[in-house]
């Protein structure tokens, strides 16, 4: 298995403000983007030992192991360079909080670990749920000072192919979960009934029916004022009505279905038996740049860590074809896709749990027309902006433990 190493950065930027949980006497300074203690009076900070803040929970589904931990913090020092402020931690999987007891991670919401204890033992933190977050315990021993916490880095290994993750595991998955168009199906009943068994009728289009939106008596209620749907059993495909429909009267059923989602490099033919279909095609990487920054996670107790080389960033240009065997289905499926893009301005990577912006660059074009054999097609085009590709191997990183100054240099370390 070929794994890569990625850094998840919990930064206390004001843009993430709604993702934090802040306890009493802890705040995010929106001017400096630091997590710090709140003043209980002018220039005075709380010296309580149980203060906390929680990050959001990240869920990178491709994670194989949590590997490193580092807190970016500025501590106040006294004149002898002793730290007056600091921070402790617990880890969480979003359900329980965990503390390392020196041997194992145990469920515990009382005790705290140091950064060194977390960094030395995070590789044993369970990945069963593939979720992790950090409970932060900032403190001060001098009420005149507060720690300033810029962010927290977690290093983890992944088994991921980036383009496959963005398209198959993320976009296709999201389309399958959210695209739910409605189509019409009219049935003339052969006998009076308060139930309709869809198994008794052979549909021209083999819809993957998810649910029933409504049922009307088309014969007696052509304007569809009264919805007769009482319930639908998706296992048996039996519709139960709130009133009977007589023999030879028409039941007008609005079906909610799931279209086939496919990915291909070309559309040379259509399989009518699999329609309606959404087909992703012409997937191209454009606007590719190599980011100038690199990043690292250091274990401060050992001075050794991992450096991640700059990733490449690209926009993914994707065409989406809508293929149906009904003009009505074409229009309704197009409307459902417009709703999807209106409600999904970001795509969250399944493997990395990182957001990338979705931008529709060519609106739905339904003028493609009939393709022969009763097949209709339309298309639209969109971008997934800023997708990342970590292509270079990680390297060993070392912290700066000492440095030499030469020449006429004056250094002030009083602050």
Which distant-in-sequence residues (6+ apart) come within 8 Å of 79 by Cβ? 414
- DSSP 8-state assignment for residue 168: I
pLDDT digits (tens, 9 = 90+) for 2-30: 899 999 999 999 888 889 999 999 999 98
Residue 164: HSE in the Cβ half-sphere, 13 Å Cα cutoff: 4
Q: What pLDDT score does 269 carry? A: 46
What is the set of domains in the chain, with CATH numbers?
A: 4-158 (2.60.120), 162-179+269-294+305-392 (3.30.2000.10), 182-257 (no CATH)
State the Cα–Cα distance between residues 232 and 210, nearest whole angstrom: 10
* pLDDT tens per residue, range 40-89: 999 899 999 999 999 999 999 999 999 999 999 999 998 888 999 999 99
Alpha-carbon gap, residue 10 to 20, rounded angstroms = 10
**Predicted TM-score (pTM) of this structure:** 0.85
Q: What is the pLDDT of residue 306?
A: 95
How far is Cα 189 from Cα 170, in angstroms, rounded to an integer? 43
Largest CA distance in the chain: 103
DSSP structural state of residue 130: -
* Collapsed DSSP state (helix, strand, coil) of residue 222: coil
pLDDT range class, residue 349, cuts 50, 70, 90? very high
Q: What three-state secondary structure class fits 372?
A: coil
Among 53-62, 225-234, 329-338, where is mean pLDDT lowest?
Answer: 329-338
Of 150, 178, 179, the closest CA to residue 87 belongs to: 150
What is the CA angle 275-280-281, rounded to 5?
A: 115
**Looking at residue 15, what DSSP letter applies?**
G
Q: What residues does 240 pair with on adjacent strands?
A: 195, 231
Q: What is the pLDDT at residue 414?
A: 47
- b/e burial code for range 72-106 (CB count within 10 A of at least 16 → b): ebebbeeeeeeebbbbbbbbbbeeebbbbeeeebe
Q: Above 60 in pLDDT, residue 184?
A: yes
- Residue 368 scores a pLDDT above 70: no
Mean of all residue pLDDT scores within the chain = 91
Lowest average pLDDT, out of 135-149, 234-248, 395-409, goes to 395-409
Contact (CB, 8 A) for 36 and 146:
yes
User: Is residue 369's pLDDT more than 60?
Assistant: no
Q: What are phi and psi of 120, to 5 degrees?
A: -80, -15
**Which element (helix H / strand E) includes 270?**
none
Q: How far is CA 181 from the centre of its chain?
A: 23
């Amino acid at each position: 298995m070929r794994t890569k190493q990625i850094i998840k950065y919990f930064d206390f930027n004001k843009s993430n403000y709604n993702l934090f949980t802040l306890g009493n006497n802890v705040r995010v300074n929106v001017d400096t983007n630091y997590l710090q203690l709140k003043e209980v009076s002018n220039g005075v900070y709380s010296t309580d030992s149980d203060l906390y803040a929680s990050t959001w929970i990240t869920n990178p589904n491709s994670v194989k192991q949590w590997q490193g931990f580092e807190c970016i913090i500025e501590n106040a020092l006294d004149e002898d360079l002793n730290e007056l402020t600091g921070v402790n931690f617990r880890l969480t999987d979003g359900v329980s909080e965990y503390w390392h007891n020196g041997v194992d991670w145990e469920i515990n919401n009382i005790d705290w670990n140091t950064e060194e204890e977390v960094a030395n033992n995070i590789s044993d933190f369970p990945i069963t749920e593939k979720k992790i977050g950090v409970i932060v315990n900032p403190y001060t021993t001098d009420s005149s000072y507060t720690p300033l916490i810029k962010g927290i880095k977690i290093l983890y290994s992944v088994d991921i192919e980036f383009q496959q993750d963005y398209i198959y595991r993320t976009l296709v998955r999201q389309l399958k979960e959210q695209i739910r168009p409605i189509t019409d199906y009219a049935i003339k009943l052969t006998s009076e009934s308060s139930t309709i068994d869809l198994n008794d009728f052979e549909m021209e289009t083999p819809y993957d029916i998810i649910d029933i939106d409504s049922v009307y008596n088309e014969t007696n209620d052509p304007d569809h004022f009264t919805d007769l749907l009482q319930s639908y059993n998706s296992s048996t495909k039996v519709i139960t009505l709130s009133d009977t429909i007589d023999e030879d009267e028409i039941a007008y059923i609005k079906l909610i279905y799931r279209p086939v989602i496919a990915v291909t490099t070309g559309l040379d033919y259509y399989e009518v038996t699999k329609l309606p279909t959404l087909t992703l095609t012409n997937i191209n990487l454009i606007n590719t740049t190599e980011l100038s920054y690199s990043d690292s996670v250091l274990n401060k107790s050992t001075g050794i860590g991992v450096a991640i080389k700059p990733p490449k960033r690209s926009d993914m240009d994707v065409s989406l074809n809508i293929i149906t065997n009904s003009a009505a289905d074409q229009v309704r499926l197009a409307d459902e896709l417009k709703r999807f893009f209106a409600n999904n301005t970001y795509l969250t990577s399944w493997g990395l749990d990182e957001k990338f912006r979705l931008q529709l660059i060519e609106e739905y074009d339904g003028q493609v027309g009939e393709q022969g054999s009763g097949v209709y097609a339309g298309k639209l085009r969109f971008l997934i902006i800023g997708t990342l590709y970590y292509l270079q191997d990680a390297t060993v990183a070392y912290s700066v433990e000492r440095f030499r100054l030469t020449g006429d240099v004056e250094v002030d370390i009083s602050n």
